[in-house]
Amino acid sequence: MATMTYRDALNAALREEMQRDEDVFLMGEEVAEYDGAYKVSRGLLAEFGPKRVVDTPISELGFTGIGVGAAMVGLRPIVEVMTFNFALLALDQIVNGAAKIRYMSGGQIGCPIVIRGPGGAALQLAAQHSQAFESWYAHIPGLTVVMPATPADAKGLLKSSIRSDDPVIFIEGEMLYNVKGEVPDEEYLIPIGKADVKREGGDATIICHSKTVTPALRAAETLAADGIQAEVIDLRTIRPLDTEAILASVAKTHRVVVAEEGWGFAGVGAEVVDVIQREAFDELDAPVIRVHQADVPMPYNKHLERAAKADAPKIVAAVRRVCYRD
Amino acid sequence: MPTSSPSKSTPKRSASSPPFASEYRDWLRMMVLIRRFEEKAGEAYSLGQIGGFCHLYIGQEALGVGSISALAPDDYVVSAYREHGLALARGMAPRAVMAELFGKATGCSKGKGGSMHLFDTSINFMGGHGIVGGQIPLGAGFAFAAKYRGTSQVSLTFFGDAAANIGSFHETLNMAGLWKLPCVFVIENNGYGMGTAIARAAAISDLWQRAASYGMPGVEVDGQDVVAVRLVTEEAVARAREGDGPTLIEARTFRYVGHSMSDAASGTYRSKEELEASRQRDPIVLFEEKLRGLGLIADGDIKAIEDEVAAVVADAVQFADASPDPDPSELTTDVYAPEGGR
Ligand SMILES: Cc1ncc(C[n+]2csc(CCOP(=O)(O)OP(=O)(O)O)c2C)c(N)n1
Ligand SMILES: [Mg+2]
């Protein structure tokens, strides 16, 4: 196994899939000559040329729509959004277009597109640049929403997403790009819709995804020192949700905390809690508690920002509460 | 409607003294203030006193100062995220700007907005917007409100060359032209959107020509020449105020620094030579030379301006550094109106 960054793992997935399938191309702002705003597409222009690695103007609605159109007639576009804050401008083409084409056409036309880029907050980027939108996309039937937390998951899931015949929203993290991890040397795919147990434990379950996986694991360490063994479930895919994995862990620990980066209201955690209360009500020994961003736009000031974000101490406190150990 | 480049008609003025001579010193001082302020902001960023994204205005000073000088006090100004210089030119206190960059409670947005979100309603400075092109319709909205209320206010909307490729530009200019809104659109064409040269992003690189599609005059101006910028803006503002509708101004300028503090000034996307060549048209140097040539300024005056500005900037940094962080309770204020509604 090689150790590589999340960024390089994504880069490898792009390269392998572009080598494998002539119909796969990458399009977005600064993806070609600049090697990507976050350098995820480094070297791809040199290898594949400007036909397949396409720089666009700042025209999110337009180039996403062009990607949707190209996908409708059989190409396999990967549209990079510089961040998902800017994908808001493309939402019409994603929600009214990509997500519904197959259904509206009675199954005649598919839309095998991947829309990818970093989501969520970095550091002190303030209100317009620090937003986690996964629940918005997960709300839409027809879309698949993938959010890997580790380099190995990033590579295997991006490859599966590119091969998917349906539109995939693939949300990365600016703060994840430099994260290092082991990645198998041989080719592999990770199936969409499968959660992963990132740490086993019998006392409580922490359900998380993307950027909350690291703080959840850190929280589990802290809790272990206190005799609480937390199980950490990384959803990896938000839609479809791996309810089986969620319910299996609930049946084991009977206590659950759901952590996510974004806002609580109508968030991913709300959906997870709904599944648990419907399917595993009798298994619960305590109400499920959610950890998420404060219900405010992200402030610029670093102390306020820290207070607003979901982090390991907040997850620790929540787990203690569900264990009645606070 | 005629579309021309560059603007040919100049307001009549007395032949003896050059136009705006009485304002020249103020303009020069403001340009120097912006330059030194931004240099200090860059330093503070490197020291970790400023965080997040920070986009400096160095190289574009004449454009901001010249255009804003044409406004009345109650006119509106709105911009993207490269707005420190515009805020200062509009009259925002250097202390309030620097404190905002430092994220302090004394900042113009209470430390909640930061570099990209400077706001000050006391001077109708309406932001500081981080999504490319997001402010373009807002600027037209201020103009719509002015027309609705029957005031004589004009709205001045700044955005970059790359922002002219986003849908909101086209939708807004069409409506502004259709409804003859009292607004002036200023493209700060510094040649690049991040690492993309304009010719790689725009089907027509002469952006002023796009005005023809929207029934308004399009004007190209040398953005390094503060007087030229003032002249075209003054004319456009007068047009808007008289009810004759909007104008699109394309001001050609340079940014002497990277896109933001995290980017290099030159690199694969633009050469060192190109950057050096652009410095030969430094707006401050050009203006100083012009004023010297006119006999309106001497070396001593420039030194006096530099000294005074250095003190103002040092004071702003000191103030920002010494100011308190926002109270933790500020996290949850300003999400909704405190009083509900009327
Ligand atoms: C809708 C949107 N897409 C992408 C970005 C990322 N981004 C920020 S600034 C910028 C370049 C803008 O260039 P330009 O409009 O020329 O202004 P300049 O920075 O040169 O002043 C880009 C791509 C963004 N903020 N908003
Ligand atoms: Mg530009």
Residue with tokens 């995290």: B262
β-pairing verdict for A289-293 and A256-263:
parallel
For tokens 């010193």, the residue is: B25
Question: Which residues, 6 or more positions from B302, have their beta carbon under 8 angstroms from its beta carbon?
Answer: B28, B288
Determine the pLDDT at residue B19. 81
pLDDT of residue A299: 98
Which CATH homologous superfamily contains domain B21-261+279-319? Thiamin diphosphate (ThDP)-binding fold, Pyr/PP domains (3.40.50.970)
Among A156, A183, A210, the domain-final residue is A183
A60 within ligand 1 shell (Cβ under 6 A):
yes
Q: To the nearest 10°, the Cα dihedral for A22, A26, A27, A33? A: -110
Q: From the CB of B194, is ligand 1 less than 6 Å away?
A: yes
Q: Do A294 and B331 touch (CB under 8 A)?
A: yes
Cβ atoms A251, A281 nearer than 8 A? no
Q: Tell me which chain B residues have a C-beta less than 8 angstroms from the C-beta of A57.
A: 162, 165-166, 193, 196, 201-202
> ω before A167 within 30° of 0 (cis)?
no
In a shared domain, residues A259 and A220: yes
Question: What domain range includes position A267?
Answer: 196-322
Query: How many percent of chain A have pLDDT more than 90?
Result: 100
A243 with A268, same domain: the answer is yes
CB-ligand 1 contact for B162 (6 Å cutoff): yes
* pLDDT at res. B311: 98
CA-to-CA distance for B229 and B6, rounded, in angstroms? Answer: 11
Query: Which of A58, A85, A174 to probe the B interface (max B CBs under 10 A)?
Result: A58
Cβ B193 under 6 angstroms from ligand 1: yes
Of A88, A125, A301, the CB nearest to B325: A301
The model's confidence at residue A34, banded by pLDDT at 50, 70 and 90, is: very high
Tell if the CB–CB gap between A302 and B51 is shorter than 8 Å: yes
Phi, psi of B76 (to 5 degrees): -100, 145
Contact between chains at B195 and A124 (C-beta distance less than 8 A): no
Res B17: pLDDT: 73
A86–chain B Cβ distance below 8 A for any pair: yes
CA distance A50 to chain B (A): 12
Reported pTM = 0.96
Q: How far apart are CA B201 and CA B8, in angstroms?
A: 29
Nearest by CB: A307 against B117, B162, B331: B331
Q: Is A147 in the same domain as A212?
A: no
Best probe residue, ligand 1, of A31, A38, A82, A130 (max atoms within 8 Å of C-beta): A82
Q: How far apart are CA B254 and CA B289, in angstroms?
A: 19
Q: Does the beta carbon of B254 sit less than 6 angstroms from any atom of ligand 1?
A: no
Which atom of ligand 1 is found nearest the CA of B134?
A: 1
In terms of domains, do A248 and A177 share one?
A: no
Residues of A in contact with B129 (CB under 8 A): 128
Q: Residues of B with CB below 8 A from A308's CB?
A: 331
Report the alpha-carbon distance of residue B203 to residue B187 in Å, rounded.
16
Mutate to test the interface with A, among B45, B271, B330 (most CBs of A within 10 A): B330
Kindly state whether residues A140 and A274 are assigned to the same domain: no
Write the pLDDT tens digit of every residue in A122-144: 999 999 999 999 999 999 999 99
Cβ neighbours, 10 Å, residue A187: 10
Q: Return mean pLDDT, chain A.
A: 98
Q: Is A191 a member of any domain?
A: no
> What total number of domains does chain A contain?
2
> How far apart are alpha carbons A78 and A121 in whole angstroms?
23
Residue A77 located in a structural domain: yes
Same domain, A152 and A215: no
Q: Which of A152, A183, A214 corresponds to the end of one domain?
A: A183
Q: Is A231 in the pocket of ligand 1 (CB under 6 A)?
A: no
pLDDT, tens digit, 9 for 90 and up, residues A176-187:
999 999 999 999
Residue A188 belongs to a domain? no
Catalytic residues of A: 60, 129
Q: Is A284 in the pocket of ligand 1 (CB under 6 A)?
A: no
Output the tens digit of pLDDT for each of chain B's 342 residues.
444 444 444 444 555 677 888 899 999 999 999 999 999 999 999 999 999 999 999 999 999 999 999 999 999 999 999 999 999 999 999 999 999 999 999 999 999 999 999 999 999 999 999 999 999 999 999 999 999 999 999 999 999 999 999 999 999 999 999 999 999 999 999 999 999 999 999 999 999 999 999 999 999 999 999 999 999 999 999 999 999 999 999 999 999 999 999 999 999 899 999 999 999 999 999 999 999 999 999 989 999 999 999 999 999 999 999 999 999 999 999 999 998 888
Tens digits of residue pLDDT in A283-296: 999 999 999 999 99
- pLDDT score of B339: 87
A201 & A179 share domain: no
Residue A58 to residue B165, Cβ atoms within 8 A: yes
Minimal Cβ distance to B103: which of A128, A297, A301: A301
- Tell me the chain A residues in contact with residue B134 when contact means C-beta distances shorter than 8 Å: 128
Same domain, A175 and A202: no
Q: Tell me if chain B has a CB within 8 Å of the CB of A55.
A: yes
Contacts (Cβ under 8 Å, ≥6 apart) of B338: none
Report residue A134 as tokens. Answer: 């996964």
Which pLDDT belongs to residue B8?
Answer: 41
Among the partner-chain residues A125, A297, A299, the one whose CB lies closest to the CB of B53 is A125
Q: Are residues A16 and A149 in the same domain?
A: yes
Look-up: residue for tokens 């982090």?
Answer: A311
pLDDT of the residue at A30: 97
The CA–CA distances, whole Å, from A244 to A193, A238, B272 equal 10, 13, 58
Q: Is the CB of B259 under 6 A from ligand 1?
A: yes
User: Are A232 and A167 members of one domain?
Assistant: no
Q: How far is the CA of B310 from the centre of ligand 1 (A)?
A: 31
- Please tell me the distance between residue B132's alpha carbon and the centre of ligand 1 in angstroms: 5
B84-112 burial, b for 16+ CB within 10 Å, e for fewer? bbbbbbbebbbbbbbbbbbbbebbbbbbb
Domain holding A170: CATH number?
A: 3.40.50.970
Same domain, A163 and A306: no
The partner residue sitting opposite B51, judged by closest CB among A124, A294, A308, is: A124
**Residue B6: per-residue pLDDT:** 45
> For A295, which residue in chain B has the nearest alpha carbon?
B332
Closest-CA residue, ligand 1 atom 7, reads B132
Q: Which residues of B touch A (CB under 8 A)?
A: 51-53, 103-104, 109, 111-117, 129-134, 162-163, 165-167, 193-196, 200-202, 268-269, 325-326, 328, 330-332, 335
| Phi, psi angle pair for B207, to nearest 5° | -65, -30
3-state SS assignment for residue A201: coil
For residue B264, the chain A residue with the least C-alpha distance is A34
Which residue reads 């992200």 in tokens? A298
Query: In the listed set A183, A213, A244, which residue is the last one of a domain according to the structure?
Result: A183
The CATH number covering residue A305 comes to 3.40.50.920
**A128 interaction partners in chain B (CB closer than 8 Å):** 116-117, 129-131, 134
Q: Does ligand 1 lie within 6 Å of residue A29's CB atom?
A: yes
Can you give the pLDDT at residue B231? 97
Residues A208 and A260: beta-carbon distance below 8 Å: yes
How many Å lie between the centroid of ligand 1 and the Cα of residue A128? 13
Domain-wise residue ranges, chain B: 21-261+279-319
Structural domain contains residue A87: yes
Cα gap A155→A10, rounded to integer Å:
5
Q: Are residues A80 and A157 in the same domain?
A: yes
